[in-house]
Amino acid sequence: MKAFQLVASGQGEVRDVEVPEPRAGEVLVKVAGAGVCHSDLHLLRTQVLPYPMTLGHEPAGHVAALGPQVTGWTVGEPVICYIVWGCGLCRRCAAGAENACERFPRGMVPGPGLGHPGAMAEYLVAPARCLVPLGRLDPVDAAPLADAALTPYHAIDRCRALLTPSATAVVIGVGGLGHMAVQILRAVTSSRIVAVDVDESRLAAARGYGADDTVPAGPDAAARVLGLTRGLGAEVVLDFVGTDGTLALGASVVSSYGHISTVGLAGGSLPFPAAAVGLPWGVTITKPYGGTRADLHEVLALAAAGRIRATVERHPLSAAMSVLKRLEAVEVTGRAVLVP
């Protein structure tokens, strides 16, 4: 089969590899679509061992074959793959929270394209328990739901109690994950949504997704957000960028006893002085990872009801490297999906 693999730092190519064989408890999936994420760019630009490594952690497709001892699935059935593969045995995994699997204490739990062979290929092997039926959803359009919707849903769900009808939620960065966050907030809360981005076209799109207000990123962004909230600040700030600048913006606009969720992985940092200055009193800061299997079911329910939908650009698998370059140049609208 064809697979897009990292072969060295900064180098990736489509290569011929063997079709994997599903083992006991596993399913072979014929990939219909694989979303392209900024995490893939991070892996491309860093030293990843061992090479070669097949990228792709937003998989959707059809069941192609069942491994031994697998029941409950039908060949040809459309599925999406939960992207965090824990041990399946610990108390966290038993609760569906494989993103916090105890076999990987204080660390990142691996998944397809993030430690295991990924979905930028014609076929993918996945644990049977990590597949979820897609029903009537199109696998190509649904592929980004595996991360671009799951991760913001999880971040939002963790602070749902703050998202009352009188509250304000600020979404910083309305790209692949941020454009889904705005839709999820609109679907599951009645809070005011303020979108912040450097790109006016993304801000215009955010208004279409349900944002009540949009603010261009820049020196006066904090003042404008505070003006929208009568100086009180936002109860929830969701940062899908993660630079020094966006983290500082979040800290400048969060309300007392508000919540900052740092989802973006751009490597920024936020000073946290243990003093009566700096962040407002009572603020919490979290760094969520992926989501739970239950979260993925909820995301798919929203998509099936037509409440959320990823904006998708379709590209052939052969264009993987050029798509990554376009993503790095901020030329992708919504989410790019590779179609093998």
Q: Tokens standing for 294?
A: 């239950």
Pick the last residue of a domain from 258, 286, 314. 286
pTM of the model: 0.96
Question: What is the CATH number for 37?
Answer: 3.90.180.10
Question: What is the CATH number for 261?
Answer: 3.40.50.720
Pick the last residue of a domain from 245, 267, 286. 286
**Rounded Cα gap, residues 131 and 126, in angstroms:** 8
pLDDT of residue 70: 97
Q: Are residues 166 and 261 in the same domain?
A: yes
Q: Are residues 118 and 66 in the same domain?
A: yes
Q: Which of 98, 85, 225 is nearest to 168 (CA)?
A: 225
Q: Are residues 205 and 328 in the same domain?
A: no
Q: Are residues 178 and 103 in the same domain?
A: no
Q: Are residues 25 and 95 in the same domain?
A: yes
Tokens 């491994």 belong to 67
Structural domain that includes position 237: 151-286
Pick the last residue of a domain from 261, 286, 311. 286
Q: Are residues 47 and 137 in the same domain?
A: yes
Q: Are residues 8 and 101 in the same domain?
A: yes
Q: Are residues 205 and 268 in the same domain?
A: yes
Q: Are residues 245 and 325 in the same domain?
A: no
Measured in residues, the chain has a length of: 340
pLDDT in 10s for each residue of the chain, 340 residues: 999 999 999 999 999 999 999 999 999 999 999 999 999 998 998 876 789 999 999 999 999 999 999 999 999 999 999 999 999 999 999 999 999 999 999 999 999 999 999 999 999 999 999 999 999 999 999 999 999 999 999 999 999 999 999 999 999 999 999 999 999 999 999 999 999 999 999 999 999 999 999 999 999 999 999 999 999 999 999 999 999 999 999 999 999 999 999 999 999 999 888 888 889 999 999 999 999 999 999 999 999 999 999 999 999 999 999 999 999 998 998 999 999 9
Q: Are residues 66 and 115 in the same domain?
A: yes
Q: Are residues 13 and 140 in the same domain?
A: yes
pLDDT of residue 50: 84
The DSSP secondary structure of 237-274, one letter per residue, reads EEESS--HHHHHHHHHHEEEEEEEEE---S-------S
- How many structural domains are present in the chain? 2
Q: Are residues 159 and 31 in the same domain?
A: no
**Rounded Cα gap, residues 329 and 25, in angstroms:** 40
